[in-house]
Copies of this chain bind each other. A is one copy, B any other.
Amino acid sequence: MKATFTETASDGGARCGLVRTPRGEFATPVFMPVGTRGAVKHLTSADLETLGAQVVLANTYHLMLRPGAEIVAGLGGIHGFADWHRHVLTDSGGYQIFSLSPDIDDSGATFKSTYDGSSHVLTPERAVEVQALIGADIQMVLDVCPSSVADTAVVRRAVDLTSRWAAKGREAFLDHPDAASRQCQFGIVHGGTDEMLRAESAEQIVGLGFDGYAVGGLSVGEDRSSMLHGLDSCMGILPADQPRYFMGLGDPIGIVESVARGVDMFDCVLPTRLARHGTILTDEGRYNLRRAEFAASNEPIDPTWEASPASRWSRGYLRHLLAVKEPTAARVITLHNVGWLLRFMDRMTDAIRAGQFDSFRAEVNEIWS
């Protein structure tokens, strides 16, 4: 089903609104925490409900290998499996597979499992089938993800193959017995940071008529101005009445600059990975709690957010738990960081509604640069 975007407010290029899918609605701009293997690390679906997450991302590559898409389907699909009844988006597996140096041909990619070395094939058609079994509300089409340092010829070939796979993937989705009645399928625009290739890729992908559109292959190591240049090259081509998703981006400046350009959806392992390494996100920037200066501190980890799920414990206590590798630390800081980023999206939404997005954007750029 086409995922519609209904704008409820805008301020310059930034917009907020509602994305509608077969499951219902979620409000944008939205950050989607990453539950790679069916759980956000250290959190349960109950925790994500409490934090107010609306959409969680799960990983097709990992779930197809462990426990297997059929097992997930048998346990009620990803929603029954994780007992999470808000939205889920599954990536296509492309990003993970391309990090494994797969054998590629026109039909798909052959790769070895990181779990047991066994050989697997993912084709655009199989990616649809696997994601139909996993049962997320939003499927991603299988794409070709070139290295971030690929030269133009490589990016060119990746754009071409991505388009051919997108056509096959779209056809397979529409031909699937019931996927289109219960899921949306998003296309993915590639082209690296090359203006012409980005635009060409966007034209081709949009021409296939997906239910929503993602920008892939950015935020993979290039500098921010190149990233935003790549984004600028394709945003105008993506339909305004459908959601626009920037894959794998989670830093505050990257998010605010992308929202300024009309992006609605984001995902990233940043808040959860940083948490496990003791880095705390706050309204005044980030810092590492492992620093010795915090050993005897009775302050909460984020004095700027009184309602943080971590607010009742001190920096000294949580620093100690980090230092001795107690998993309670990673859990509490993960709750904080994910909660902080969800609240950041809410604050940005409020700024758009109030016509104060420019000052919010300036503040974020100042604090996080």
List the interface of chain A (C-beta within 8 A of B): 37-46, 62, 66-67, 71, 74-76, 80-83, 295-296, 298, 312-314, 316-317, 319-321, 323-324, 326-332
Contact = CB atoms under 8 A, between A and B. Distances in A.
A335 B38 CA distance: 19
Contacts of A312: 45-46, 83
B71 A328 contact: no
A331 B332 CA distance: 12
Given A66-B323, A66-B324, A71 B41 contact: no
A74 B296 contact: yes
A296 B75 contact: yes
Given A44-B313, A75-B296, A76-B298, A327 B324 contact: no
20 contacts: A37-B320, A37-B326, A38-B320, A40-B328, A42-B328, A44-B331, A44-B332, A45-B313, A67-B323, A71-B296, A71-B320, A74-B316, A75-B314, A76-B298, A81-B317, A82-B313, A83-B312, A83-B317, A327-B331, A331-B331
Contacts of A323: 66-67
B314 A81 contact: yes
B39 A326 contact: yes
Closest 5 CB pairs of A and B: A39-B328, A67-B320, A37-B324, A75-B316, A83-B312
Contact of A62 (B44, B316, B324): B324
B83 A313 contact: yes
Contacts of A295: 67, 71
A37 B329 CA distance: 12
A331 B42 contact: yes
A80 to B, nearest CB: 8
A81 B328 CA distance: 14
Contacts of A46: 312
Contacts of A39: 321, 326, 328-329
